[in-house]
Structure formats: C-alpha cells, structure tokens
Amino acid sequence: MKRRQGNLSLFAVALLAAAMLHSCVGGLPPSLARDIRDESDKLLAAEQEVQHSQQTVQQDLTQAPDLFAGAPEPVQWTAGFATAHQKLDSAQRDAKELANLTHARGKDVESRARRLLLEERGLREAAVADSKTLEANAAKWLAFQHDLKTSLDSMNREYQTIRTVDLTPVASKIAQTEKDWPAKTSDLDSRLATLRAIPKTAESEWTATAAARQDAAAGKATGKEVATLIETDNLLSQQAKTLAAGPDELRGLCSQLYDSWDKILTDLDESRYGEDDLYRERIKTVRTHFIDVPAKKTETHSDEHWTTVSEASFDSVRNDLGMAIAHKDAGHYDSEAVNTPQPPGYSYIASPEQGSNQYGYWTHNGGESFWTFLPQYLLLRELLWNHDYRPVAVGDYGAYRMAARNGTSYYGQQTPNSPPKYGSHGTFTQSHYADSRYVQSGSFKTSAYASRGSSPGSSFGNAHAEPDLGSAGKRFGRQPGSAPQGQRFGRPSGGFKPSGRGFGRRR
C-alpha cells in the first residue's frame, strides 16, 4: 500500500507551520498560543504514527499472502489509510491557517483560532485512532492463524453465548410497554425481532463452517478456509456483543417512554478562569414520570446544576434564558426530543381545537380563552414557570404554535417596539430570574427593552456569590387522599387582567 503523492510534503508544511507558530504568538492569549504550538508538535508525531501503522499492515500482508488472497479486507484497509491521510491533510491546512492567525487582529480572531484548533485536534486524533484500528485488525488475522486451537475455542464460546441468551424477560417488558404506549408497538417489535434473528443467523454460520473448523482442528486448513473462519469469528463476536447489550438498550427505550421532561435554562455565566474564558449554563431538568399510564398517575422530579459548555454551545442559547431549551413528551424516546427553545410549559398545552388533554383544559370567559392546568399537575406548572404561573391566553398560544411549526423559537414579542416576553431579554425573565448571575451581571441591561429601573446588586443579593453547584433533586407527587395545592386559573382574578389583544409575533 503506497501512500499517494502529495502527502510527502506534509512534513515540510508542518515544519513551516511549527516554525511560524514558535516565532510569533501575535495577539492571541498565551495559553491559546501554547496550545496551538503543542498541537502542531502532536500533528508531526501523528503523521509518523499513521505512517508506521501503514507499514506494519503492509508487512503483515506479505507474511501470509495465502491467507489474504481474495479477501476484501486488504482493499478496505488500503482505503482506510487513505482516509486517515486525508484527515491529516485537513489538519495540516488548519495548522497553516492557525499560523497565519498569529499575525491577524480583530475581535473574531481568537474565537476563529479556538475553532480551528478544536477541528485540527479532532482530525488528528481520528486519523491516529483509525490507523491503530486498521493495524489491530490485520494483526488479529495473523494471530488467528498462528494459534488456531485458541481461536476455535473462542469461536465456540461466542457461539454458545449466543445460543443461551434468554430474551423472555425483555419480551415481557416490551409487551407491557406496548399496552401503555401502542404507538411504539411497531418499532419495539422490530427491534426485538432483530435480536431474535441473531441466534438463527449464528446457527446458520456455525453449520456452514463445520468443514473448515474440522480442517483447522486437524491442522490442514487452507488459507481461504482460515479467512472464512476469521470472518465468521468477527460476525459471531459482533452478534454476541449485540445480544449482550441489546436487551438493556430495549429496556432503556421502554423506560424513556414513561417520562416527559424539560430542560430549562435558568442561568448563564461567562467569566475568566486564569487566562481562559469559562462558559457555563445552569440547567433545571423537570421530569414527570408515569407510574400508571391508564390512570394518568405521575410523579414529578426536578434537579438543577451548573455545567461547563463550549463557547459555541453557550452562544447558541445566549438569548434563551428562562426558556425550555429541550422538551420530550411521554410516549417518545429521548432521541425524539425537540431542541428548539420555546417558552416553558407551552408544550403541555392542548390546541384550542382539541380543547383539553391530560394536563389541563381551555376555559372561556368574557370572550377570552385561557389555559388551566389540572390540580395533579400544579407542581409541574410551578416548576416550569419558576413558581409564578400566569395563565396563557389563546392568542399567545396560537403565535407559539405558528413558530413551532416553522421550527423557530417564540419569544412572545407583540410589536416591533415592545419588549419580548420570554428569553434572555424578556419581561418574564427579568422578573422571574432577577437573582440569576445573568441578570445580576447587568447582561439584561444590554437589551433595548430593559427596564430603566432594573439595577443589579440591589435587593437581589451578591452578584458575585458562587452559585450552589449541588444537584440534589426533589420528588413530588400527589399522595392518595391529599388535597391538591395551588390556585386554579380558569377565571382571571386579582391583579391579572387580560388585555384582550393578540399576544405576540414571531421574533
């Protein structure tokens, strides 16, 4: 396997980039400049590692030509190394651009450098990992041939493991889940059928290799027979792993259907840690678990914690404080969660056409319609709205639905000159998250809609106090015979007075 022309110049390019980086750090932070230099050195080492792995595989192929004759793997390995070299080529281009950035000026230079560095590191690591995998695969072929007795014993163990797997418990779990969530019957049955087919396939493969196994045990197997046994061994190994993990994965999917959850962005913190920028999000996860689906009996659990994120992740939700940045309905898998930020709690409201659902219903009074949560979901309501729920008007909900259908976030803005209701610069956020680090730091005041009277550091506490990093949660649920807590909002009363106007437009 000869390396394609053009890659021979990688060392020269890398050395040039390294020299430029070592000679000038420009205006980049010292820690970032150091990381760029280190990555350039690692890229040079990675080129040598990939080249060494490729040469090792070439030597393996020449040691046993009869074993590899006609097998598709050598061609696949050659293509794999070509891909690894392409990744290194891309990493080298990133390194060269990083070297040029050391001379650049501008507010976006540092963020661009960080993104390039991350990309270069990922390409380098992937190229090395791929080449090591290819080297290990070739070595496995030789090891199988050199010790056929041990290899055959391993094949037999894998085959017996596959034969003895009992899928009855997971099948029982799926049967009950399908009664509770019939919409998932087809998918769950298909996944279970895939697992049940594995022992049949393994039996067929085992029977088909009987003659080759006999010849191998007698020490007279041909190279082609050994190659067939290796391929069968690889298949049995993968099947055994799938059967070992498959039942747990299916049980996990079943469990996901019994939960609805929301991830509420309750705070944002952008600060310096030494020479580096630190980006953090505080996430409150509100989870409602169905104990009894037919009876609609649930319990709600909430936990909240800070997490460090990348600059890109931080920027993607910078405008979404107080919003549900992810939501999953019960009866859906976690992979089906909606990740478009929306006002908290809106996902639980039924359409006006539907009128009601298990969470609540629309009430009508004086020409207006407002959403009312049922008593058993008052705690869910309070957690989602940060303990100050105001009834959602039908006009507000209609604008939200339009935004959701278009895949955009709804911030509750009524006119171009009025403030949004939700999000980092919304009136809801200003009042409900006044003690957050985001608002206390003065970030809200950067909004054109911020109230002139809002001032960080007044009665809301110390803006620089370290937030509680604990994640202890609370479990809620209505106990039998207990009275529901909270106020019903079917009829507006007290200080809340509907305006009678439409509530917002898409931002």
Q: For 234-252, write each residue's pLDDT tens digit.
A: 999 999 999 999 999 999 9
> Looking at residue 273, what is its pLDDT?
74
Residues 460-480: tens digit of each pLDDT: 233 223 333 333 344 434 333
CA distance 267 to 374: 29
In a domain, 481, yes or no: no
Residue 76 reports pLDDT greater than 90: yes
Residue 347 reports pLDDT greater than 70: yes
In a domain, 242, yes or no: yes
Position 430 confidence tier, pLDDT thresholds 50, 70, 90: confident
Residue 63 reports pLDDT greater than 70: yes
Is there a single domain that holds both residue 299 and residue 232? no
* Position with higher pLDDT, 353 vs 24: 353
- Rg of the chain's alpha carbons, rounded to an integer? 30
- Residue 4's Cβ-count burial label (10 Å; 0-12, 13-18, 19+) is exposed
Q: Is-contact 458 446, C-beta < 8 A? A: no
In a domain, 492, yes or no: no
CA distance 16 to 97: 12
| Neighbouring-strand partners of residue 306 | 282
Residue 455 reports pLDDT greater than 70: no
In a domain, 503, yes or no: no
* Cα dihedral 431/434/438/443 (nearest 10): 70
In a domain, 159, yes or no: no
Is there a single domain that holds both residue 175 and residue 124? no
Q: Residue-wise over 240-268: b if at least 16 C-beta within 10 A, else e? A: beebeebbeebeebbebbbbbbbbbbbbb
Position 441 confidence tier, pLDDT thresholds 50, 70, 90: confident
Number of helical (H) and strand (E) elements in the chain, helices listed first: 15, 7
In a domain, 497, yes or no: no
| Neighbouring-strand partners of residue 283 | 265, 305
Residue 85 reports pLDDT greater than 80: yes
Residue 482 reports pLDDT greater than 50: no
Residue 136 reports pLDDT greater than 90: yes
Is there a single domain that holds both residue 129 and residue 174? no
Q: How long is the chain?
A: 507
Is there a single domain that holds both residue 207 and residue 320? no
Q: Is-contact 282 305, C-beta < 8 A? A: yes
> Looking at residue 413, what is its pLDDT?
66
| Full domain range(s) for residue 237 | 165-256
Is there a single domain that holds both residue 285 and residue 176? no
Over range 214-227, report the average pLDDT: 94
> Looking at residue 493, what is its pLDDT?
36
Is there a single domain that holds both residue 349 and residue 435? yes
> Looking at residue 426, what is its pLDDT?
86
Position 116 confidence tier, pLDDT thresholds 50, 70, 90: very high
Sheet holding 324-328, edge to edge: 324-328, 259-273, 276-292, 297-308, 474-476
Is there a single domain that holds both residue 332 and residue 238? no
Is there a single domain that holds both residue 321 and residue 382? yes
Q: Is-contact 155 229, C-beta < 8 A? A: yes
Share of the chain above pLDDT 90, in %: 67
Number of domains in the chain: 3
Over range 362-390, report the average pLDDT: 92
Residue 332 reports pLDDT greater than 90: yes
CA distance 41 to 95: 10
Q: Which amino acid is at 51?
A: Q
> Looking at residue 24, what is its pLDDT?
42
Is there a single domain that holds both residue 279 and residue 399? yes
* Position with higher pLDDT, 10 vs 391: 391
Residue 80 reports pLDDT greater than 90: yes
Residue 488 reports pLDDT greater than 60: no
CA distance 171 to 146: 42
Average pLDDT score, the chain? 83
CA distance 262 to 239: 36
Residues 251-308: tens digit of each pLDDT: 999 999 999 999 999 999 988 776 678 899 999 999 999 999 999 999 999 999 999 9
> Looking at residue 446, what is its pLDDT?
52
CA distance 234 to 138: 13
Q: Cite the beta strand spans of 350-456 per DSSP E.
A: 360-365, 368-373
CA distance 506 to 410: 6
Choice among 26-35, 116-125, 140-149, 335-344 with the minimum mean pLDDT: 26-35
Is there a single domain that holds both residue 293 and residue 203? no
Position 390 confidence tier, pLDDT thresholds 50, 70, 90: confident
CA distance 434 to 438: 8
> Looking at residue 429, what is its pLDDT?
82
In a domain, 1, yes or no: no
Is there a single domain that holds both residue 127 and residue 78? yes
Residues 165-187: tens digit of each pLDDT: 999 999 999 999 999 999 999 99
Tokens linked to 346: 């809106």
Residue 144 reports pLDDT greater than 50: yes
Is there a single domain that holds both residue 174 and residue 271? no
Position 201 confidence tier, pLDDT thresholds 50, 70, 90: very high
In a domain, 189, yes or no: yes
